[in-house]
Chains A and B, each alone.
Chain A
Amino acid sequence: MTTIANPTTSVADTQAPHYNPKSETAGAKRLKSIIFHVVALAVTAVVLYPALWMIASSFKPNAEIGGSNTSLWSSNFSFDNFVTAMEGIGGVSTMTFFTNSLILALGAVVGTILSASVSAYAFARIKFPGRSMFFGMMIATLLLPFHVVIIPQYIIFNQLGLVDTYIPLLVGKFLAADAFFVFLMVQFMRNLPAELDEAARIDGAGHARIFGSIMLPLMKPALISTSIFSFIWSWNDFLGPLLYLNTPEKYPLPLALRLFVDQTQSSDYGAMIAMSVLALLPVLVFFLVFQRYIVEGVSTQGLKG
């Protein structure tokens, strides 16, 4: 956690000359710094409390979670909840749900990377009639409530006999339906120097060559943020699987969690929370590993969490 501070503070050092050092004494500066940390730590405590409570409760016996003991720490620390949670629900092991979530998330990453990068290249680097019109429409879909398309989409997939398969959940990823990623890559590519393509063109390279051997390697940062976000969004997706999947063997984790809540009727609180922790674990690991990419991606592209 301590390594987090280093890269960003150095940026802040050079960019935030907001107060005149001459007008403040060393004591006043110290006091301000103390106040800053007290407030920031208080906010941190409030913000992280739900996550800490979740993790702490997952190790507690059922009786202690809702009891009068509000302390996060329990003397009866145990892995029992996780053992129950791993058993799964409805005869399906939690490992199956994990695998399903992983298949869907990796499919989403591959599909989004392929389709969004190709489409973004067209928007950013090729001149053709209709480009700005389609670009405007792409931007408009960013603001469109997607609920307006779910009913007809469901009807179509139902008629094609594709309900209860992963195809409805993945086909959009391979068709760049998440306009945010196309937009992100267009913005990124527009900032790459135009001389690159011009030089390649003079050497006789076509668009396929320019895209494959010049653009793609340079787009690595954008591809990484896209992968991280499409993975996490797919991992957390609930409505899509809720609409399209009926067989528990095919459920990803969020849907399995709902089934778990339904069937146990919250009687096994501890196991329910342990399963919630398991379902979030990959996202939390991703965050800890890639948090610089994630936070930078948000601050430069306005990506939603």
Chain B
Amino acid sequence: MTQSPTLSRRSTSSDLPQPRKSRQRGADTRAGYTFLLPWLLGFIALTVGPMISSLYLSFTNYNLFEPPKWIGLDNYISLFQDERFLQSVGVTVSYVVFGTPIKLAAALAIAMLLNSKRKGQGFYRSAFYAPSLIGASVSIAIVWKAMFGDSGPVDQSLSFFGINLGGWVGNPSMTMPMFILLTVWQFGAPMVIFLAGLKQIPGELYEAASMDGAGPIRKFFNITWPMLSPVIFFNLLMETIHAFQIFNAAYIISNGEGGPAGSTLFYTLYLYLRGFSDFRMGYASAMAWLLVIVVGIITLIFFRTSKSWVHYSGDSK
């Protein structure tokens, strides 16, 4: 009060930023949630809400027409006595365990082949990527079925070499290789990502290694692999998670039945059949939650073990 008008004016002006800042912060919070609204609504209504209700449903008997009946852990217990369920787990696990590493190995090998200054590199990169864009479509599933069918082109070509397997589609022991070939054929997407990673590795590292007399194998394990490890990790995680969810090809190739002899009864196909053709929604929900838990555990294991082999730039190791 005793201050001169000029001083007091100055003191208020220096105080001003404070309320303005907090007012700004309030405005930002309001604006933030306003802009986030579409995602937030979707997240609550289409993800969190349904996740909670499917967790609840997994402990019930529910057929869409009568109210859900609480049965505790019965769904989970009967899952492990259900031979078709166990078979679907077996089919899916062998697909993930064999298909994903082969696909990634092909992707890495071809990315390394393409990672050099040569004409046509861009063309090859695009051509190899194309299957990834169409591979999950119904059209390709139909084509695959026709190609691997009785006296289809695959059978014809193999017969030419004296290998008579007949149609792969109807042969329970050949359907898995057929599905693995379908996923390996789509090596382009991880390849493009590998290629982007390979381009980040400084050429001097290889030059220095050459001067020290390192051969291509040592260069691969001592330079390429560690430098590329974050990209390898990313591809491995994403491809593994996606492989668990294969559906379209399994549905189309087996006419939605998972045959022959259950050899194409992939996890998500069985989940679909249980939920939407037997209307055992509680049972299917239990399957869905089991998948979430398994994928969650695998993700966790990947991240835990990644510390020992994934090197990020700036790491002291």
B-contacting residues of A (Cβ < 8 Å)?
1-2, 4-9, 11-13, 15-20, 23, 33, 36-37, 39-40, 43-44, 47-48, 50-51, 53-54, 57, 65-68, 70, 114-116, 118-119, 121-123, 126-129, 131, 134, 137-138, 141, 143-156, 158, 171-172, 174-177, 182, 206-207, 211, 232, 236, 238-239, 242-243, 253-254, 257-258, 261-262, 269, 272-273, 276-277, 279-280, 283-284, 287, 291, 294-295, 298-300, 302-305
Contacts of B258 in A (CB 8 A): none
Are A12's CB and B116's CB within 8 A?
A: yes
Q: How far is the CA of A1 from the CA of B126 in the complex (A)?
A: 10
B49 within 8 A of A: yes
Within 8 A of A (CB), among B110-158: 110, 113-140, 142-144, 146-147, 149-153, 156-157
Beyond A47-B127, A148-B51, A151-B288, 14 extra complex contacts between A and B, CB < 8 Å: A5-B120, A15-B199, A18-B116, A43-B124, A115-B39, A147-B291, A152-B285, A207-B35, A236-B136, A238-B138, A272-B142, A291-B129, A298-B189, A304-B189
Contacts of A145 in B (CB 8 A): 241, 244-245, 288, 291-292, 295
22 A-B pairs within 8 Å (CB atoms) are namely A12-B199, A16-B116, A16-B203, A18-B206, A40-B124, A50-B131, A53-B143, A53-B153, A54-B143, A68-B151, A115-B42, A118-B37, A121-B35, A127-B32, A149-B46, A152-B53, A154-B276, A175-B46, A254-B248, A262-B255, A298-B129, A305-B129
Name the CB-closest residue of A to B241. A143
Stretch at the interface among B5-13, B190-198, B304-312: B190-198
Q: How far is the CA of A143 from the CA of B293 in the complex (A)?
A: 12
B23 within 8 A of A: no
Are B117's CB and A16's CB within 8 A?
A: yes
A40 to chain B, nearest CB (A): 5
B164 within 8 A of A: no
Contacts of A116 in B (CB 8 A): 39
Are B134's CB and A236's CB within 8 A?
A: yes
Are B185's CB and A122's CB within 8 A?
A: no
Are B147's CB and A53's CB within 8 A?
A: yes
Are A119's CB and B28's CB within 8 A?
A: no
Name the CB-closest residue of A to B54. A152
Q: How far is the CA of A7 from the CA of B189 in the complex (A)?
A: 19
Are A143's CB and B299's CB within 8 A?
A: yes
Are A305's CB and B135's CB within 8 A?
A: yes
Q: How far is the CA of A260 from the CA of B268 in the complex (A)?
A: 23
Are B156's CB and A144's CB within 8 A?
A: no
Are A254's CB and B137's CB within 8 A?
A: yes
Are A238's CB and B251's CB within 8 A?
A: yes
A94 to chain B, nearest CB (A): 13
B99 within 8 A of A: no
Q: How far is the CA of A239 from the CA of B137 in the complex (A)?
A: 11
Name the CB-closest residue of A to B151. A66
Evaluate whether A118 and B29 lie within 8 angstroms (CB atoms) in the complex, with A4-B126, A12-B116, A276-B139 already known: no
Choice from B128, B132, B147, B207 contacting A43 with Cβ under 8 Å: B128
Are B146's CB and A273's CB within 8 A?
A: yes
Contacts of A67 in B (CB 8 A): 151
Which residue among B116, B133, B252 has the maximum number of chain A CB atoms within 10 Å of its CB? B133
Which 10 residue pairs spanning A and B have beta carbons closest together? A175-B42, A305-B132, A128-B32, A8-B122, A122-B35, A119-B39, A276-B139, A152-B50, A299-B196, A149-B50
Choice from B53, B124, B138 contacting A257 with Cβ under 8 Å: B138
Are A273's CB and B142's CB within 8 A?
A: yes
Q: By the criterion of a CB under 8 Å from any partner CB, how many residues of chain B are at the interface?
A: 106
A103 to chain B, nearest CB (A): 18
Q: How far is the CA of A302 from the CA of B142 in the complex (A)?
A: 28
B104 within 8 A of A: no
Name the CB-closest residue of A to B274. A151
A262 to chain B, nearest CB (A): 7
Contacts of A257 in B (CB 8 A): 138-139, 142
Q: How far is the CA of A257 from the CA of B143 in the complex (A)?
A: 12
Contacts of B121 in A (CB 8 A): 5, 8-9, 12
Q: How far is the CA of A253 from the CA of B34 in the complex (A)?
A: 37
Within 8 A of A (CB), among B242-260: 242, 244-245, 247-248, 251-252, 255
Name the CB-closest residue of A to B256. A258
Are A13's CB and B117's CB within 8 A?
A: yes
Within 8 A of A (CB), among B18-64: 25, 28-29, 31-43, 45-47, 49-51, 53-54, 57, 64
Name the CB-closest residue of A to B150. A66
B100 within 8 A of A: no
Are B195's CB and A299's CB within 8 A?
A: yes
Are A128's CB and B28's CB within 8 A?
A: yes
Contacts of A304 in B (CB 8 A): 132, 189, 238, 242
Are B281's CB and A151's CB within 8 A?
A: yes
Contacts of A261 in B (CB 8 A): 142, 252, 255
Q: How far is the CA of A283 from the CA of B189 in the complex (A)?
A: 16
Q: How far is the CA of A122 from the CA of B272 in the complex (A)?
A: 36
Choice from A18, A36, A118, A148 contacting B289 with Cβ under 8 Å: A148
B186 to chain A, nearest CB (A): 7
Q: How far is the CA of A180 from the CA of B65 in the complex (A)?
A: 35
B284 within 8 A of A: yes
